[in-house]
Structures are given as structure tokens and as C-alpha cells.
């Protein structure tokens, strides 16, 4: 095998597919990147048991063939090559490749390509078709609520529901819940759980200057997404997602309207005076015309900030993990939002004033005021 291609193009493809490789591969071969050279096209692939990514690159191929090379060393080398083009030659007898770029010349050991699984392909039974900007927004406004705890895989994904003329994305870690819906006309109702890791890759690669339709193809427990020269294949998360609608209180005693940037700034600053760690607790006192945000730590000091609000109903005190509040406020594009509450321990709803199909539920923290 021997080919020459753009250093930048090959490096970009490697950085893209490398994200499919697990930090702890289930087998040594999955720590490698698979490159197939065929008819002036390179197929650059990486995978683990749950996700596979392939990317094509144009090349000048002198001899077809395939290699598997350590992702860690190959990716680092490609990032630092000096020349605009790179020539890679497979030395079959030595089980190495020679990498030449400008005046640089390197040799890397190869892994056994016969051990590398074939990239998955399938003919889909169903498809979800969405404009790129719409799927990007659906992902952005829900993915931050997902859990990162692999011990609870059900909550490391986003529930995607289609029915009643809309598509709904739902993310939760059981302490908070983000729900975003958009109009969507489809002939068949559907409910699947897509890993957040896969959706993050989809969003990361939606960077075309031209509008495009994104097709999510489904077969059994697998999905396949094609974005320009990139193919992402993944397993769906299996299991029954809990009924998220039951978490949303049917009514609220208190509703307060506030400026999103003002509250975000106040929470961010006051949280500096809270305890370190995963639970940076802030206390929020909702009054008739003011929201008072406070926190304190014996090691740091005390913080307090007031912002204006317009409240209907009872005044009350509530405490939150500050990160959970900041995450939603940073994802609101509207100038104003509404916080709806019942008491200091029941779920709180935050939603933008001008966006009906987006709500966020967060569970307060039990503290003494």
C-alpha cells in the first residue's frame, strides 16, 4: 500500500474518527485506526463495541491496501507533521509504515489488520430526517441534562419520541430534566434512546456553510448517520425510559419572571462562595420584586446578589446545585424566562418566555435557610 494525500485532510479525518475509540478499549485492536486505500480514496475508520466512525479522504493512491496503526501515536504524529502533503508506504515484511512529509521520515509499527472488524453497514427499516439546524438545536438544548454515569446507561442517552405531529428530545440524570419539541410530520410513531456520546458527535460535525438534511437511519437496535464524508454507526440504548411527564407538576403556586443574563451572572458569581465539588449549592429567595441569590462557605466567605423579578403567588426559599441552574440559563436564547415553583422541595420548572416547546425541570436541594 502506498498513497499521498493532504496532511490537513488526513489529520482532520483522524481527529474525527478517533473519538469513537474508548478510553479503555475492550480489545487491543480497538485502540487502532483502520485505513483502507482504494482507487484514490482513503477510508479512515475507528470503532469500539458501541460506536463506529468512518471518514473518506481524497488521495493519490499508487498501491491499494489497508493498515491498522495505533491511534494514540499516529494521531499525535499527524498533528505535528511539517509538510502540506504526506506519503504513507506500507512495509509488509517489517510490519511497519513509513510516514514522509517535507523532510521528515518516520516509521510506525502496525497492528494486524486481519483482526479489525468490518465497518458496519445496513439497509435501514426507518429514517428520521431533520434539517441540520433543527437537530443541532434539539441536541444542544437537552444533552447537558444527561448523566455521565455508565453504571446507569439508560440516562446516558437522549430519548427521541416522534408522534402527535412533533419530535421530542428528552435528557435527564434523574435530578434534572430537559425537554425540547419541534413540529415534525412523520407517518410512524417512534421512541428510541440514542447515546448522548453519539449525538455529541453528530452536533460536532454539523458545520457545513450550506443547509443540509440529516438522515438518521434505523435498523433493529442500530442507527447510522451520514454527514458529508462522515458516517457514524452506533447501537441504541436498550431499556424503557421512565415516564418523564410524571415528573412535571400539573400546576404551580409561584411564578416569577426574570432576566436570563442577570440571573446567570448572579448565580455564577455567588457560586464562587459555595463549597467546592460537584454540589456547589446556592440559595434562592424569591420575593415579590426581587430574587436574592446567596451562598457561603467557611473556607471562602459569603456571597449575595439581588436581581429584579415580577412574581405572582407566594414568596419562598429554595436551594439548587448552581451548575444545574447555570446549564439551563446558558442554553436560553430568550431575554426573559419564568421560574415556576410550589415549595422548597418540589420540582421547579424553568422555561423561556418566547419558546413554548422547551422546559427544564430541576430538583431542589434540601438545606436549612
Write out pLDDT tens, residues 183-211: 998 778 999 999 999 999 999 999 888 88
DSSP 47-113: E-SSEEEEEEEE-EEEE-EEEEEEHHHHHHHHHH--SSEEEEEEETTTTEEEEEETTEEEEEEEE-G
Q: What is the pLDDT of residue 210?
A: 86
pLDDT confidence of residue 186:
78
pLDDT at 143: 98
Residue 277 pLDDT grade (very low, low, confident, very high; cuts 50, 70, 90): low
Query: How would you class 239 by CB atoms within 10 Å of its CB: exposed for 0-12, middle for 13-18, buried for 19 or more?
Result: exposed
pTM of the model: 0.93
Contacts of 215 (CB under 8 A, 6+ apart): 127, 128, 129, 225, 226
pLDDT digits (tens, 9 = 90+) for 229-246: 999 999 999 999 999 999
Judged against a pLDDT cut of 80, whether residue 314 lies above it is answered with: yes
The percent of residues above 70 in pLDDT, for the chain, comes to 99
CA angle 335, 288, 321 (to 5 degrees): 65
Contact 17, 33 (CB under 8 A): yes
pLDDT band of 137, cuts 50, 70, 90: very high
Beta partners for residue 341, in sequence order: 254
**Could you tell me whether strands 60-63 and 51-58 are parallel, antiparallel, or unpaired per DSSP bridges?**
unpaired
Q: Is the pLDDT of residue 307 over 90?
A: yes
Q: What are phi and psi of 118, to 5 degrees?
A: -70, 140
How far is the C-alpha of 197 from the C-alpha of 171, rounded, in Å? Answer: 12
**pLDDT at site 290:** 98
* pLDDT for residue 191: 95
Distance CA 334, CA 352 (A): 6
- Chain segment 52-101, per-residue pLDDT in tens: 999 999 999 999 999 999 999 999 999 999 999 999 999 988 899 999 99
pLDDT tier, 356 (very low <50, low <70, confident <90, very high otherwise): confident
Higher pLDDT, 24 or 10: 10
Question: Which pLDDT does position 367 carry in this prediction?
Answer: 87
Amino acid at each position: 500500500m502506498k498513497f499521498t494525500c493532504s496532511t490537513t485532510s488526513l489529520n482532520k479525518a483522524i481527529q474525527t474518527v478517533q473519538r469513537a475509540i474508548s478510553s479503555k478499549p475492550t480489545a487491543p485492536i480497538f485502540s487502532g485506526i483502520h485505513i483502507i486505500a482504494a482507487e484514490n480514496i482513503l477510508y479512515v475508520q475507528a470503532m469500539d463495541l458501541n460506536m463506529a466512525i468512518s471518514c473518506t479522504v481524497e488521495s493519490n493512491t499508487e498501491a491499494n491496501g489497508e493498515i491498522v496503526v495505533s491511534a494514540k501515536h499516529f494521531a499525535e504524529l499527524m498533528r505535528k507533521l511539517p509538510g502540506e502533503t504526506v506519503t504513507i508506504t506500507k512495509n509488509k515484511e517489517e510490519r511497519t509504515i513509513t510516514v514522509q512529509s517535507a523532510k521528515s521520515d518516520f516509521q510506525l509499527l502496525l497492528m494486524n489488520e486481519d483482526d479489525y472488524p468490518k465497518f458496519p453497514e445496513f439497509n435501514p427499516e426507518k429514517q428520521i430526517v431533520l434539517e441540520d439546524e433543527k437537530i443541532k438545536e434539539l441536541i444542544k438544548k437537552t444533552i447537558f441534562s444527561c448523566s455521565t454515569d455508565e453504571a446507569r446507561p439508560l440516562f446516558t442517552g437522549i430519548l427521541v419520541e416522534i408522534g402527535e405531529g412533533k419530535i421530542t428530545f428528552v435528557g435527564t440524570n434523574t435530578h434534572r430534566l430537559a425537554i425540547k419539541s419541534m413540529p415534525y410530520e412523520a407517518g410512524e410513531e417512534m421512541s428510541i434512546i440514542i447515546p448522548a456520546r453519539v449525538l455529541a458527535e453528530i452536533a460536532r460535525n454539523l458545520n457545513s456553510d450550506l443547509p443540509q438534511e440529516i438522515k438518521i437511519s434505523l435498523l433493529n437496535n442500530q442507527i447510522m448517520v451520514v454527514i458529508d464524508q462522515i458516517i457514524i454507526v452506533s447501537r441504541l440504548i436498550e431499556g424503557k425510559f421512565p415516564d418523564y411527564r410524571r415528573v412535571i407538576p400539573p400546576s404551580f403556586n409561584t411564578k416569577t419572571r426574570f432576566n436570563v443574563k442577570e440571573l446567570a451572572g448572579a448565580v455564577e458569581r455567588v457560586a464562587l462562595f459555595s463549597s467546592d465539588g460537584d454540589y456547589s449549592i446556592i440559595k434562592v429567595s424569591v420575593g415579590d420584586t426581587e430574587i436574592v441569590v446567596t451562598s457561603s462557605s467557611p473556607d471562602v466567605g459569603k456571597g449575595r446578589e439581588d436581581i429584579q423579578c415580577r412574581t405572582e403567588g407566594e414568596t419562598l426559599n429554595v436551594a439548587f446545585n448552581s451548575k444545574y441552574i447555570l446549564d439551563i440559563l446558558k442554553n436560553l436564547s430568550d431575554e426573559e424566562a419564568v421560574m415556576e415553583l410550589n415549595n422548597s422541595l418540589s420540582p421547579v420548572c424553568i422555561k423561556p418566555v418566547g419558546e413554548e416547546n422547551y422546559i427544564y425541570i430541576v430538583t431542589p436541594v434540601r438545606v436549612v435557610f
